[in-house]
Amino acid sequence: MKKNVMSFLVFLITLLLLFFFSFSISEQHQQNEAFNVRQHLSTVTRYGAVKHIAHNHFIPSNIPQGCVPIHLNLVARHGTRSPTKKRIKQLDNFSAHLQVLISDAKERNLPMERIPSWLHGWKSPWQGWLKGGELTSKGEEELYELGIRIRERFPNLFEEEYHPDIYPIRTTQVPRASASAVAFGMGLFSNNGSLGPGHHRAFAVTSESRASDIVLRFHDCCHNYKDFRKRKGPAVDKLKEPILDEITATLVGRYGLNFTRQDTSSLWFLCKQEASLLDITNQACSLFSPSELTLLEWTDDLEVFILKGYGNSLNYRMGIPLLEDVVLSMEQAIKAEEERRPPGTFEKARLRFAHAETVVPFSCLLGLFLEKSEFEKIQKEQPLQLPPKPRQKRKWQASTVAPFAGNNMLILYSCPANDKSTSKHFVQVLHNEHPIPMLGCNGSDFCPFEVFKEKIVAPHKKHDYDTVCNAKLERNRTGGKFSEIFQWLLSLGKDMSTY
């Protein structure tokens, strides 16, 4: 009798364990299905994965009846690109290192079934490539389709016969940026020419020398910024270490391989490249749980925030020439309208193609992706806290701020005005083709042009490019640097305490 009862209890416990195990696996599978890693690759995110994501809970303005777009400014990042030559070499070295780790596991008699099968004999998909960093076919499509959508959305702006003075296209002297400009132009002007089956037409793409391009590649010409990047890089790496160490320990326990912090970093990089460029998410990305991927994304977002974004006012103030160029183009459009110049004699759109190092600072100059209290701090030239750690909401996510082909469009509208006291010209800002609130305009995406200049542009114009980038900065070489790093670590500690 006792034997039967014991057998029944063992059977019941086994059944319950199997049920809970199956439920846990099912729940984890559902979570993994709901988590789309392609939307969490920081600045390696493809445009198609995030372009549909609009600002949460924001209701766009209804453009008043009679308002007509008269000018468009575009500041866009290049499309999806291949890894750079330096990164390709790193992946080749990592491939060899993985096989050493697997051999070590065999020597320790580790069960091979714990190691994902794809790791055995893995070779980099870019092995043997002599070049890198070029625009991919997906990157070409992103910009080509963007050009078509913009033309369809603003048909009255692109009804003129093409002329480089009406539709100037500017790019940096970097092949992936200029190739992006060409792909965009092919879409924008498709069916408007006589070349080939697609009825394409030739168009001009111009660029400034890298050594003097302070409008689109200002970060390359700014001496103080180069110094800042050099000094701050090690501090940013230090910020990442606790997260990388935590995830590394988990990976070692999960797979038995003696991964190091650098290995975890390499696997995360490989995950981003596979998911973004090859649509592979069941290899490097699958080594991490969704929560680990979210933390890795956050470490990348911290780096973008500190070295390109709101983390230091120098990051975006060096973009003042670009902001001034945008405003100048709108003022010229208003003047052309007031002078009633005939069609075909004035500029309708100014189209620019550059890099994350351009789009991120420009977004900051516009005051995007901030809470109201943060915007007020920026206006008072006070530092901001770091973006909060996952499980807390944050507006600053590089995957939406500056994905491949990420862009800001500023549309200048001319509206009916009953009297001289009523604004006639308004600016609407679109980020990745969606209206986005401007805190400098009381959270509206449709802002009187004069208010736009006074509240958003004017505060930045107190700092000219030459002073920001070339003036000798007074800095305590020891105390100042230590103090900044300490403040960041303190901020990070606060974030961790809430996790």
Q: Alpha-carbon distance 225 to 305, whole Å?
A: 14
In 355-476 the beta strands, taken as DSSP E runs, fall at 407-414, 425-431, 434-435, 446-448
Where residue 496 falls among pLDDT bands split at 50, 70, 90? very low
Residue 185, pLDDT > 70, answer yes
With a cut of 80, say whether residue 338 has pLDDT above it.
yes
- Summarised one tens digit per residue, pLDDT across range 244-265 is 999 999 999 999 999 999 999 9
Is a pLDDT exceeding 80 seen at residue 233?
Answer: yes
Give the model's confidence band at 15: pLDDT under 50 very low, under 70 low, under 90 confident, else very high. Answer: low
pLDDT of residue 11: 54
Q: How confident is the model at residue 481 (pLDDT cuts 50, 70, 90)?
A: very low
C-alpha atoms less than 13 angstroms from C-alpha of 327 in its C-beta half-sphere: 21
CB contact burial 92-122 (16+ within 10 A = b; e otherwise): bebbeebeebbeebeeeebeeeebeeebeeb
- As a whole number, the mean pLDDT across the chain is 89
24: Cα within 13 Å, side-chain hemisphere: 6
Whole-number percent of the chain with pLDDT over 90: 77
pLDDT value at position 427? 98
Residue with tokens 């925030």: 305
Task: Determine the pLDDT at residue 471.
Answer: 85
Answer yes or no: is pLDDT of 19 > 60. no
First to last CA, the chain: 52
Instruction: Please name every residue paired with 412 in a beta bridge, in sequence order, or none if there are none.
Output: 71, 427
pLDDT of residue 164: 96
How many residues are present in the chain?
Answer: 499
Mean pLDDT to the nearest integer, 138-148: 98
CATH superfamily, domain at 48-82+135-223+308-470 = Phosphoglycerate mutase-like (3.40.50.1240)
pLDDT tens readout for residues 32-87:
458 999 999 999 999 999 999 987 778 899 999 999 999 999 999 999 999 999 99
Using CA atoms, how far residue 198 sits from 168, 278, 447, in Å, is: 22, 28, 39
**pLDDT higher than threshold 60 for residue 2:** no
CB atoms within 10 A of CB 202: 10
More confident residue, 355 or 484: 355
CB 426 within 8 A of CB 448: yes
Between strands 434-435 and 425-431, the pairing is antiparallel
Q: According to the model, what pLDDT value does residue 326 have?
A: 98
Whether the per-residue pLDDT at 480 is higher than 50: the answer is no
Write down the pLDDT at residue 16: 55
How do the domains of the chain map onto residue ranges?
48-82+135-223+308-470
pLDDT digits (tens, 9 = 90+) for 419-456: 666 679 999 999 999 999 999 999 999 999 999 999 99
Give the model confidence (pLDDT) of 385-408 as tens digits. 999 999 899 999 999 999 999 999
More confident residue, 269 or 492: 269
Mean pLDDT value across residues 480-488: 47
Q: Which two tokens stand for residue 153?
A: 């959305």
Mean pLDDT lowest among 72-81, 145-154, 440-449, 489-498 = 489-498
Report helix angle 175-188 to 137-153, nearest 10.
40
The pLDDT of residue 54 is: 86
pLDDT score, position 3: 55
Per-residue confidence band for 4, with pLDDT thresholds at 50, 70 and 90: low
Please report the pLDDT score of residue 390 as a whole number: 93
Measuring CA to CA, which residue among 362, 392, 387 is closest to residue 299?
A: 387
- Higher pLDDT, residue 22 or 105: 105
